[in-house]
Amino acid sequence: MARDVLLESVPDLRADLDRESMAAADVRTEEMLVNMGPQHPSTHGVLRLVLRTDGELVLDAVPHIGYLHRCAEKIGENLAPYQFIPKTDRLDYLAAMNNNHVFSLAVERLAGVEVPERARYIRIIMAELNRIASHLVSFGTYGLDMGAFTPFLYAFREREMILDLFEAACGARLTYSYITIGGVTHDLPDGFVERCREFLDYFEPKIDEYNRLLSYNQIFIKRTGCVGVIRPDEAIAWGLTGVCLRASGVRWDLRRCLPYEIYDRFEFEVPVGLPPGGVPPVPAGVPAPKVPAGTCVGDCWNRYFLRMIEMYWSVAIVRQALDGLPAGDYRSKVPRNLKLPEGEVYFEGENPRGQLGFLIVGDGSPIPYRVKARGPSFCNLSIARRICRNCLLADIPAIIGSIDVVMGEVDR
Amino acid sequence: MQAIRGEDILKPRWDPALRSRALRAVCRGCLGALAGAAAGAAVARLGLRGHPVAVLLLVVVPLGLAALAAVAGGLIVLAGPIGRALRRFAAPVFWGAVIASVLLIWGVAELMGFVGELARVDPVPEAVTAFGGPLTTGELRESLRGPGRFVLLSGLLWPLQFGVVRDLVVVAGVVAFVSVFAMFAIWWERKVSARIQSRLGPMRVGGWHGWAQSLADGIKLLGKEDLIPAGADRPLFCLAPYLAFVPALCGFIALPFGAYWVFRNLDVGLVFVLAMVGVEVIGVILGGWASNNKWSLYGAMREACQMVSYEIPMGMALLVVVTAAGTLNLTEIGELQKSGWASWLAFRNPFTFVACFLYFVAALASCKRAPFDLPEAESELVAGFMTEYSGFRWCLFFFAEYAAMFIVSGLATTLFLGAWYSPLPVRWGAVLAEGGLLSRAVHGLVFCGPLWFVAKCILLIYVQMWIRWTLPRVRIDQVLYACVQVLLPLTMLALLGQSLWELLVPRGSALGLAANAITSAIGAVLVMGAVGAAAYGRMNRRRLVGSLAVEHLPGA
């Protein structure tokens, strides 16, 4: 069934040409359908790709999703928003803070809840720290996809330190449910600011170390440069967001373009994919990175590299937020059975993987009538089939890894 | 029935019932073997009139089995105290095991030499042929010309008079060396990668830095279910691991560990070893094909593809040295490099120097080591040709990989890096070589000997590990490009240059000496630079790793 759909849907001239030339030589060749996933080391969870291959050449790759579907949105129609927060943790489980944040902001916008100033700063600190943690996982697993094992462990060593900070703040290391409606669940613990600063001072030079270890490695550039190129118009047409969009040269970051929360108070740049020789903006005092030869705008290398640059800027934002952290309440008084007014709100925030949106429809009761999530991984994954065509088998992990999907968010 | 796990060796957790049952079984086996030996003795004496071969088969073999059973029984009884002692004195036991292995190899070599002397002193033509004439213990004792206390010794040595038996003993030694080395290398690779990745690696099994981890893993693998996929080609599937492992083992036949430490000193030793390394690939391809798994097939095809591209530059890089040495005999090539650092063939002239590096790159590809580990590329092909293998068959592929690593490193050592000689000219130690046992041992340690050979091989293997844990993997088209379009022309140029050099630059001319001096100096600078950088990193590691990761440093 899948094979028929697959073969019919993609008219491929190359295969026809091959068949004609091979028929002349009286040699029988066959295309091979390979199931990559849902259990495969480099599909980052339970993504399943059906590859139509001609030797090492992949003629077509069809993603199949749904192995991690947990009815998150339907559950949202049966729970009060504060009960749904732990479910948002499990969407993009590598960026739970950001999910909590966007969902809380959407509910607050619908119900008109005010958030104290201190809570807003804490939210920014947590969201950006989690962005770093998420990008670290992406960086590490991407190295793993490319066959370099060591960056993975370095990335996880650093991520553990961020998780330690989160654990100190809320007691959890993966599913935090820390940012909640009206603020955050607990105030920052004693010494958090100092520990956080110590981490930032330690971490910032490490990014350059990673760049020297992996980003500028010639083999790595050869593997990822000009592979899986997405043109800017394609990126927009396919609804890509986040790093995948910016790597194609489109300067679009919700934190800067439609500032939410208090992002307009911080100074940061939005790096985009650059041609070879380009110098992406980085905070003062860090070694200037340079886009090497052999890459092009919108390729895997640029998508990967933007995450490294974004980590610099997240560090800068956290530093500014720590400097400006005011005293005061960490949460406003929100009634337990917060009644959601009639009407609907759609709110998007910039997650590590792109724009996470929540549509919440209220009907006057504490339980929303409808909750819908727009997962960035889901939309970004949609272009996989477009760019996995006519590449080599080894390029598939490179492309899928650079799109950086989290299946929990794709399937929800 | 309780399953026996790998850690039971060191941490016995047998319940008394199981233990007594095992003990009873072993005792029964022991008694049965003894009875068999007695019956065999009677049969041999009465029926076959004490023919030596009959004695060997009917008496010595059952006695050996009985001894094995007795040892097993002793281990079962003493498992607790042994395990406690191992845990308590882990480091001494580890180093003791290392020293004992070295001494054992030395002892076997001495024994072989002794028996060889015997055969020469009192030549019995029939005795040298396989199971030839009836050489009795009495004659052997006479040949020892000793009093009665040699009876036992000559009795034990009796089977060694046959060349086949001697060869079998040495082959057993080679197999043991390869197995022990592979287990050591697997453990060591885990420790090296752990150091590179700021981890600790194995720390528990055996106590001292988890030195018995490979042992426990091996026993775990033996206990695993031996799966053969339903659609697999059963005979080929079962054959493939041996086709990979046996050639790797055969490579050791011609690999010289020292001037006299070579099993068969072949005139075409280099070709033989290269052929064995090449044959190993068949096992991999066969395994990938027979698995009936698409990922395995990809792995096998990649291996085939990779092989046709790296074999030629590899062979040509070695040809450069062959033209310099003028022989294919590995022992003779080794002997050329006895005059210290500058006489090593890698430093003979610029072309051999370049060929050394070219060979190493091609050798990485031949060992399927990163960055050329495409046949088993984990993130692309799950496990490549090994996807469907489990248990002991998988273990054999692993052993073959580490044996091949040793062989290609051994070739590099023999052909480029001074074989079994130290960087000091061997003539400086001429006095020591003439002296007694102790001074000869010092000579072996300082100037030449198998230890130098093994040490150089291990150093090269360390470089392979270092590369593996640092670099990403290349793509298949890039492997082909690198091997065919970069390595091949470069090795051709090196071969051409080397031939012209041999023609135009006479030995001992000023140009030759200057080139030799420059390349030796570059080599020395490279080695010292690596050592210096490592020392700098080691001394400043707390600063380099950063404030927060200090606790992640090994040993912190």
Tell me the pLDDT tens digit for each residue of A192-225. 998 899 899 889 888 998 998 899 999 999 989 8
Contact A150 B379 (CB under 8 A): no
Pairing of strands A57-64, A370-374: unpaired
CA distance A412 to chain B (A): 25
| CA–CA dist A244, A348 (Å, integer) | 17
Residue A346 has pLDDT above 50, yes or no: yes
The confidence score (pLDDT) of residue B131 equals 33
Using a CB-CB distance cutoff of 8 angstroms, which residues of chain B are in contact with residue A213?
470
Confidence tier at B553 by pLDDT (50, 70, 90) = low
Joined together, the tokens standing for residue B479 give 């492997």
Does any domain span residue A103? no
| CA–CA dist B18, A412 (Å, integer) | 51
Residue B399 has pLDDT above 80, yes or no: yes
| CA–CA dist B420, B457 (Å, integer) | 10
Contact B471 A148 (CB under 8 A): yes
Contact A153 B198 (CB under 8 A): yes
Give the residue from chain A lying closest to B466, CA to CA: A150
Range of lowest pLDDT (B150-164, B265-279, B335-349): B150-164
More confident residue, A35 or B90: A35
CA distance B286 to chain A (A): 18
More confident residue, B434 or A101: A101
Interface of B with A in 32-51 (CB under 8 A): none
Asked if B486 is an interface residue toward chain A (Cβ–Cβ < 8 A), one would say no
Joined together, the tokens standing for residue A95 give 């960026």
Interface of A with B in 57-86 (CB under 8 A): none
Contact A223 B473 (CB under 8 A): yes
The confidence score (pLDDT) of residue B37 equals 83
Q: Classify residue A396 as exposed, middle or buried by CB count within 10 Å of its CB (0-12, 13-18, 19+).
A: buried
Interface of B with A in 281-300 (CB under 8 A): 294-295, 298
Joined together, the tokens standing for residue B86 give 């191992």
Kindly state the helix (H) or strand (E) to which residue A32 belongs, with its residue range: strand A32-36
Tokens 């090492």: give the residue.
A56
Query: Are both A174 and A275 inside the same structural domain?
Result: yes
Query: Are both A145 and A282 inside the same structural domain?
Result: yes
Does any domain span residue A348? no
Q: What's the predicted TM-score (pTM) here? A: 0.80
Joined together, the tokens standing for residue B175 give 């197999």
Query: Are both A126 and A60 inside the same structural domain?
Result: no
| CA–CA dist B337, B345 (Å, integer) | 7
| CA–CA dist B255, B269 (Å, integer) | 7
The confidence score (pLDDT) of residue A314 equals 93
CA distance B430 to chain A (A): 47
Q: pLDDT digits over B182-239, tens only?
A: 888 889 999 899 888 888 888 877 667 777 888 888 888 887 888 888 888 888 888 8
Among the partner-chain residues A147, A157, A213, the one whose CB lies closest to the CB of B549 is: A157
| CA–CA dist B100, A43 (Å, integer) | 48
Residue A306 has pLDDT above 50, yes or no: yes
Pairing of strands A354-362, A343-351: antiparallel
Q: pLDDT digits over B492-504, tens only?
A: 999 999 999 888 8
Using a CB-CB distance cutoff of 8 angstroms, which residues of chain A are in contact with residue B198?
153-154, 157
ipTM above 0.90, yes or no: no
A375 HSE (CA, 13 A, CB side)? 24
List the one residue out of A74, A72, A78 whose CA is nearest residue A365. A78
Q: Which residues is A49 bridged to in the sheet?
A: A36, A63
Does any domain span residue A376? no
Asked if B542 is an interface residue toward chain A (Cβ–Cβ < 8 A), one would say no
Range(s) of the domain holding residue A6: 2-64
> What's the number of domains chain A is made of?
2
Does any domain span residue A401? yes
Give the residue from chain B lying closest to A38, CA to CA: B382
| CA–CA dist B485, B478 (Å, integer) | 10
List the one residue out of A281, A144, A307, A351 whose CA is nearest residue A211. A307
- The dihedrals phi and psi of B482, each to the nearest 5 degrees, come to -60, -45
CA distance B379 to chain A (A): 5
Residue A59 has pLDDT above 60, yes or no: yes
Contact B552 A217 (CB under 8 A): no
Does any domain span residue A294? yes
CATH of the domain at A205: 1.10.645.10
Does any domain span residue A164? yes
DSSP state of A293: T
Does any domain span residue A128? yes
Does any domain span residue A13? yes
Confidence tier at A122 by pLDDT (50, 70, 90) = very high
Conformation bin of residue A290: beta by default, left when phi > 0, alpha when psi is -120 to 50: beta
Q: pLDDT digits over B72-95, tens only?
A: 888 777 777 777 777 777 777 778
CB atoms within 10 A of CB B467: 16
Contact A41 B378 (CB under 8 A): yes
